[in-house]
Amino acid sequence: MKNTILSNKEPEKGLIEILKKHSGRDVSGQISVRHQGGRQKRYYRIIDFRRDKRNQEAKVVRLEYDPNRNAHIALVEYKDGEKRYILHPKNLNVGSLVVAGDNAEIRVGNALPLKNIPLGIEIHNIEIIPGQGGKVIRGAGGAGIVVAKEGKFVHIKLPSGEVKKFLKDAYATVGVVGNEAHKEENVRKAGVKILMGIRPTVRGTAQNPRSHPHGGGEGKVGEGMHPKTPWGKPARGKKTRHPKKWSSQLIVSKRK
């Protein structure tokens, strides 16, 4: 069903660039990521994840569809005429005002440091390194909750259920990322996936023994006791996180 709140105008010309299609191939031309290719031509919308234009109000001009992400985006215009795209939070409407700054009001769409956001507030687009731009919680319907403050860190409960420490000077945006209904969208036919750049995925058990560890055999043999990837690595249940990963010390409690 067509979303009536989205504008049908062309994207802002100064905020787009052609998104090159690599079809899953690396610099040598070999396929390094499977099941990619055959996508329609796309323009990348340059999103302001940093929100570095501080203490200046911007007005939401229109809401737009972005083919490069599952969330919608909002075009905002500052008083000096500059326009930028930001992620569209839920309940942010055309004509609303947003601002980024240390003392910004706790209002949907506003960005401010974690140290100035009260406990229990839902946030998204959180910076890992202050000034780098938001990296965490940018997908449709995503939101983290400020649960505690301790020294130079603020504890955030992520959508996965994990509680993690972020630096108190890192910026975040108030509100829940919009387009929550994305998870309920029905892909009508295989051709839609092809236009999105996603090629068919063949089951390992349907392949021959040279192509996949699950391949071969008479009839429906199955995967056996130890499911594997095409490269012989354990496929299910094996923990892949590096035990000495730098960010492990920031995890307060693991996801369920």
Give 130-143 pLDDT, tens digit per residue: 999 999 999 999 99
Interatomic CA distance for residues 166 and 232, integer angstroms: 37
Mean pLDDT over 17-33 rounds to 95
Query: Is the overall model pTM greater than 0.75, yes or no?
Result: yes
Phi-psi category of residue 219: left, alpha or beta, with phi > 0 → left and psi -120 to 50 → alpha: left
Q: CA 102, CA 79: separation in Å to the nearest integer?
A: 19
Q: Which tokens in the block code for residue 45?
A: 């919308």
Confidence of residue 1 (pLDDT cuts 50, 70, 90): very low
Element (H, E) at 75: strand 73-78
Q: What is the pLDDT of residues 200-246, one digit of tens each?
A: 999 999 999 999 999 999 989 989 889 999 999 999 999 888 999 99
Taking the C-alpha atoms of residue 235 and residue 224, their distance in angstroms, rounded to an integer, is 12
Average pLDDT over the chain reads 94
| 256 confidence band (pLDDT: 50, 70, 90) | confident
Binned at pLDDT 50, 70 and 90, residue 3 comes out as low
- pLDDT at site 4: 61
pLDDT score, position 77: 97
3-state secondary structure of 82: coil
Written as one letter, the residue type at 74 is A
pLDDT at 224: 87
* Helix and strand totals (H; E) in the chain: 1, 15
Distance of CA 87 to the CA centre of its chain: 10
Residues 6+ apart with CB under 8 A from 222: 205, 214
Burial of 196-208, coded b for 16+ CB within 10 Å and e otherwise, reads: ebbbeeeebbeee
* Structural domains of the chain sorted by starting position, each given as residue range(s) with its CATH number in brackets: 13-181 (2.40.50.140), 202-256 (4.10.950.10)
User: What's the pLDDT tens digit per position in 165-207?
Assistant: 999 999 999 999 999 999 999 999 999 999 999 999 999 999 9
Spatial separation of the C-alpha atoms in residues 206 and 189, rounded to whole Å: 22
Give the three-state DSSP class for 136. Answer: strand
